[in-house]
Each structure stands twice: as structure tokens, then as C-alpha cells.
Amino acid sequence: MATQVDRYGPLLLLPPDMTRAVEALCATLDNGVTVISERLPGRRSVALSLTVGNGSRDQAPDENGFAHLLEHMLFKGSTERDGDALNAAMESLGGTINAFTDRESTVFHGTVLAEDAADAFTLLTELLTKPRFDHADLRLEKRVVAQEAAMAAEDVEDWAQERALAEIWGTHPLAWPVLGNAQCIRSASRKRLQAYHQRILAESPLIITAVGEVEHGALCTWAEAAFRGPRGRARTAVPAPGFHGGQKRLRRAQAQQAHLIWMAPACSVA
């Protein structure tokens, strides 16, 4: 067993047989959920993720920011336990439970000991499928999201990146900031956010992934029990954005550095 030392201290390098996957399996269940697992021998932990194929590009103009706001609300308690009980359940696992929203997906993920994988999966699915949508929590999270947007606007690099995307994609939803539009977020009601949540549960693809000391059959059983109804109902397709090239110079007085961004069309990931 070798050890590599860098400026952060010792970094343990595991032998190849402890990092190589024994089996990488993929299955599509009757409920439409895709399950992918990769078993790593010698590991005592499991990394889990629930990837929902819904991001900021899938919002209507009057929902700009709902995807990110919904992610915040899903951590404020479920219909089975309030926010404090939910936080206590996450802390009792001794691992990490978190989420993030991007332009094309929302991901709920956690890393726990192998013996706690079933409990972590239950917690992640509870977050996703059974939010409580408390009025007071919604008012609070609107302010939190507004603060995040203000912080991003103060960061010149973030500001330049968002402006560049708006230049090349115009009014297409892919050009919208993931954090959303302040006016849309302020107008978000409990009823509208619930309707948005129900729509993405019914229409959005779901991929469940687990890596580590995990059994594929058990993971499929958990997914079948957690998501009983059919998924992937047809939704309105969002057309691909057109690329608008050219040069644009933007000046921001308080910037201490020059930021240059170059963007060009590329081949498809497929």
C-alpha cells in the first residue's frame, strides 16, 4: 500500500483491486426509474444519488427560479417529519446528505456507511417525494435565495459567465440564471410550487445511482417501493437554443481583473 504526500498532507492510495468495480449494472424498472450501481470491494461506504432530469431549462418564463427554490424547500421538512426531525435523521447517519440544481438536472446525493445505505435512500426519497411546503419556510427560503442571487451578482466571474450565456443563447431558458428571476421567486406561492413539484415528479426522468458496497438487487427493490407510479409522462420538449456569435465588450467599474470568455458551438455529447 503506497502513500503519496502533497501540500495537503498524506494521501492514501488504495491498491487497484480495492478501487476497480466488480460489477457495473444498469436496469430500467417498470416504474420508469433507471437504476445504476457499481460495486467496489473493500469499501465500507456507499455513495448514493437521485438525479432528476429537471433543471432551470425546463421552467416556464413565470417559473424562472422555481427549480432552485424547490430544492431549498425539499430540505425544510416532509409530510412525515418536520425540519428539525429531518435534520436529526440526516445527522444520525453520520455521513453527508446534500443537493444541487443545475440547468438540466437536480441531484440529491449522500455518502454513508454501507449499513446505513437503506436509511439514507429512504431519507433521500422522502425529501424528493413528500415535502411539506410550510408557508413560513417558503417565506424564509425566498429571502435565502434572494441573498444567494445578490452574492452571485457581486462576484465578477459569475456575473460575466451569466452575461456571456445570455449573449450566445438569447432568451432561451438555458440562458437563464439557475438562481432565477427575483420577481418570479417573490411571486412563488405554495400552491404554484406544489404544482411544479408534482409536474416534475410525473414527467421528469429519474436516475438512481449507487457506488461502493452495494447490492444491485437491493437498490432496485428500494427504488420499486419508493416510486410506485409510472414516470416519464410526455412533456413539452424544449427546443435547442440557437447560437448567437459575435463580440461584445462589457465593463464593470469595480472589477480589479479583466475576464475574457470565449464560447463556440461544439459537437454533441452523444
Mean pLDDT, range 225-247, rounded to an integer: 80
Asked if residues 234 and 84 have their Cβ atoms less than 8 Å apart, the reply is: no
Q: What is the pLDDT of residue 1?
A: 37
Q: Tell which wins on pLDDT, 233 or 8.
A: 233
Average pLDDT, the chain: 87
User: What average pLDDT score do residues 44-52 get?
Assistant: 96
Distance CA 15, CA 3 (A): 11
What is the distance of C-alpha 112 from the center of its chain? Answer: 18
Question: Per-residue pLDDT averaged across 130-155, rounded?
Answer: 91
And the C-alpha cell for 124? Answer: 433521500
Using the predicted structure, report yes or no on whether residue 212 has a pLDDT greater than 90: yes
Answer yes or no: is pLDDT of 267 > 50: yes
Are 117 and 133 a contacting pair, CB within 8 Å? no
Domain boundaries, the chain: 17-226
CA atoms within 13 A on the CB side of 196: 26
- In this structure, how many other beta carbons lie within 10 angstroms of the beta carbon of residue 200? 21
Question: Which residue, 72, 112, 109, 74, is CA-closest to 92?
Answer: 112
Beta strand pairing call for 9-13 and 2-6: antiparallel
- pLDDT recorded at residue 2: 37
pLDDT of residue 93: 87
CATH class of 17-226: alpha beta
219, amino acid identity: L
pLDDT value at 139 more than 60: yes
pLDDT given at position 249: 85
Does the pLDDT at position 238 exceed 70? yes
Query: How high is the pLDDT of residue 110?
Result: 93
- Cβ atoms of 120 and 95 within 8 Å: the answer is yes
